[in-house]
Amino acid sequence: MELNELTNASGEWLRGAGPESDIVISSRIRLARNLADFPFLSRATEADRAAIEQILQDTISKLIEEKKLDPNTLYIKVGDIDQLDRMFLVERQLISRELADATGARSVVIDPQERYSVMINEEDHVRLQVMQSGLNLQAAWEQVNRLDDLIEEHVVYAFSDRLGYLTACPTNVGTGIRVSVMLHLPALVITRQIEKVFKSLQKISLAVRGLYGEGSQAMGDFYQISNQITLGLTEEELIAKVADIVPVLIDYERQARDFLIRESHETLHDRVSRAFGILRTAQTISSEETMHLLSSVRMGLNLGLISDLQIPTINKLFVHTQPAHLQKLAGNDLDSAARNIERATYLRRHLDGNKPNGPTQN
């Protein structure tokens, strides 16, 4: 399978299915692992990095040969692809911005259905992540655990009986797990309750981030909730910590939506309907405005204020209108002004209400 075959695809986390998918976009679990025989990357030589990369490439090849991984699994040396493809993978949440921007030997293993990816030589030697559409942490945990075991059949991880898995950053030591749930919380934003909610989450050691992880702005009212510590609790306990709070957040968001529907139905309907109108008629539009408007449309769709459109279409538009996706879809490099025009064209084509099944097709 080629990287370009992913361009028009959608991937697991954009499916818009799974439990609570009106509010929960995806559930993600990532494990940080390091090979016992090599120093952490901060102290590794170029030769170390290359050796680590080679060992893991061999491991993936063996797992494919053993029919334990899909034969269409992608193995991409991130240094060998161009900047546009790297940004494409970041937008798709298959690699981190850090892996994209790093130097030296580094790779990513990608499941053809985009249910998982493995970053090699990011902050740790190995970072496995599994994504599930909707609220489905248990399934994500089972899958990442299986993937972890498969790799461990071929390599020896750095592990301390006292501390657990050893990682480059002390915050990951222990289980090396990060449990994240991506939520769409537009009504909490509109009713100005979001800050209060986040402060409560921080008090119980949960982190809140934007769509593209650490340091990224919350665009389109998407927020990632994840555990901040990995030490002193088992994986199951850490998963439960996130899993227990998500229904509370879902309930808050639903209450805020009910409030808006009840107390300012026309204003909400107006916001949603205009957002849809602008997305279908703009001739030039920025990524930021697109996210903002799509967020309103997504909520409106879930509240029955808009029909004739599917959630997976909206989820896909959030990602496909990002700069690298747009350029991959257009087939050439575009400057910012040209991207804004291309984005508007793309949106009009995909949101044209006249085509009965148009919106879900490319």
Minimal distance, residue 298 CB to a second copy, in Å: 16
Binding site for a second copy (CB under 8 A): 266-267, 269-270, 273-274, 276-278, 280-285, 337, 341, 344, 354
Instruction: Give CA angle at 55 (49, 59), nearest 5°.
Output: 145
On whether the CB atoms of residues 234 and 175 are closer than 8 A, the answer is yes
Count of H helices and E strands in the chain? 12, 10
Spatial separation of the C-alpha atoms in residues 20 and 222, rounded to whole Å = 15
Question: Based on CB atoms, which residue is closest to a second copy, 31 or 278?
Answer: 278
For residue 26, say whether it is annotated as part of any ligand binding site.
Answer: yes
Q: How far is the CB of 344 from a second copy (least distance, A)?
A: 7
Q: Whole-number minimum distance, CB 256 to a second copy, in Å?
A: 20
Shortest distance, CB of residue 266 to a second copy, whole angstroms?
5
353 is in an annotated binding site: no
Q: Which residues pair with 159 in a beta bridge?
A: 165
DSSP 95-130: S-HHHHH--SS-EEEE-TTSSEEEEESSSSSEEEEE
**Is 174 annotated as belonging to a binding site?**
no
Known binding residue 213? Answer is yes
Q: For residue 94, give the nearest of 16, 185, 3, 167 by alpha carbon.
A: 3
**In the β-sheet with 107-110, what is the strand arrangement from edge to edge?**
74-77, 107-110, 116-120, 126-133, 24-33, 177-184, 222-227, 206-209
CA dist., res. 135 & res. 26, Å (int) = 6
**Is residue 134 marked as binding?**
no
d(CA 343, CA 348) in angstroms, rounded, equals 9
Q: Determine whether the annotation assigns residue 78 to a binding site.
A: no
Q: What are phi and psi of 171, to 5 degrees?
A: -65, -15
Q: Is 181 annotated as a binding residue?
A: yes
CA distance 166 to 172: 8
Q: According to the annotation, is 232 in a ligand binding site?
A: no
Distance in Å, CB of 356 to a second copy, minimum: 13
- The annotation status of 21 as a binding-site residue, yes or no, is no
Q: Which lies closer to a second copy via its Cβ, residue 283 or residue 357? A: 283
| CA-wise closest residue to 113 among 33, 40, 210, 9 | 9
CB of 272 to a second copy, least distance (A): 8
- Distance (Å) of CA 300 to CA 103, 260, 340: 43, 11, 24
Q: Smallest distance, Å, CB 209 to a second copy? A: 32
Binding-site residues from annotation: 26-30, 127, 178-182, 209-214
Binding-site residues from annotation for ATP: 26-30, 127, 178-182, 209-214
